[in-house]
Amino acid sequence: MTVITVSQLNRYVKSLLEGDANLACVMLSGEISNFVNHYKSGHWYLSLKDENALVRAVMFRSSAARVPFVPENGMKVIVRARVSLYEKDGSFQIYLDDMQPDGAGALQVAYEQLKRRLEEEGLFDESRKRPLPPYPKRVGVITSDTGAAVRDIFNVLRRRYPLAEVVLIPTLVQGDSAPAQLCAALRQFEAMKAVGDPRTPDVILIGRGGGSLEELWAFNDEQLARTVAAATIPIISCVGHETDFTICDFVADLRAPTPSAAAELAVPDITELRQRVALLGAAAGRAVGSGLVQRQRRLTELSAKRCLSTPLYPVEERAMRLDRVVRRFSGAAQRVTAKADTRLATAAGKLDALSPLRVLSRGYALAGKGGAVLRSAAGVQPGDDIQLRLHDGELDCRVMAAKPIKET
């Protein structure tokens, strides 16, 4: 018996597995577990299991890139694979070439996964939605220039609000190149706004007519959703029919069930505006007329007042009041003056009775020396000059002798 190495054994078993035509392409159904998305290489590692068994599986990056959804643990799938052996550790495993959900289609699963992820990020929140301008001067349209949707949009805009200018950027609306063109059109409108281009729209309509899920798939693109969310110009999404919902619908500021409905939501109805202006004009006319009547009535009432019919009446009335006040003040002043005169006469009589001049009139004299009053004979000497004040004049005298009076 020949002795072989472990490597030779694994290589031999691998050749047997890969040489079996029945194992070169097998279709398996099972539940995913132990899923790992290797972020560096892009390869997927997982296990497929049923109630009784489990097999390891690998899906290389080139094949994984064609799968429109991301596998999740617990998801039931159908895979196309080839059976082989990993020589390094002797692991029996399968190599996946394709994967489809077992039940819902792959696109539907991808749609639900992206919707859930963006919703968790807050891109669907109503708080970040921008209000639409009530009277847009320009309406931007992003859609195919050959489809029925663009004709419907133009017809509705011309009928409802011909004052608005329409700025169209034609793009593909299905196929692999459509998402990139839709994103580029949005960025072009944003660039126009950034440089102050007068053609910048006040609101943007993006969408297309109805179709299958595959035909509408461009509007479920993640990059388009993020571009719509980052836009600063309000956006109305109008993709498909009323029952069709895309990721773009949830991210946009407003979702319209059809392109025609989007055009109706984007602009006001000029007929209704004219009617409203007419009603407002009539109401304003009535208000002005009523105001004039009220003011005419008020003017008549004011004209009848005495202050206007006899302009000098207020002046005359105040002049009479002033005369009364002056008379009161004059009478009061006279009474105060009379009382003051009486008090002054009384005081003057008292002062006159006590006045030294009154005493001098009775024959007395007032002696002084050097401007000072002499109160005693001891204050002078013979030969001193003194002054005598009489009631009707003064005498300059010289003392001959000073004799004191002896009290008896």
What is the C-alpha to C-alpha distance for residues 405 and 408, in angstroms, rounded to an integer?
Answer: 9
The whole-number pLDDT of residue 368 equals 86
Q: What is the pLDDT of residue 3?
A: 86
The pLDDT value given to residue 268: 95
DSSP β-ladder status, 235-239 and 366-369: unpaired
Low-confidence ranges of the chain (pLDDT < 70): 103-105, 306-309, 311-313, 407-408
Residue 105: its pLDDT value, please? 66
Domain boundaries, the chain: 6-103, 113-124+135-271, 359-398
- Fold annotation for 6-103: OB fold (Dihydrolipoamide Acetyltransferase, E2P) (2.40.50)
Model confidence pLDDT, tens digit, residues 9-40: 888 888 888 888 888 888 888 888 888 888 77
The domain made up of 113-124+135-271 is a member of CATH 3.30.43.10: no
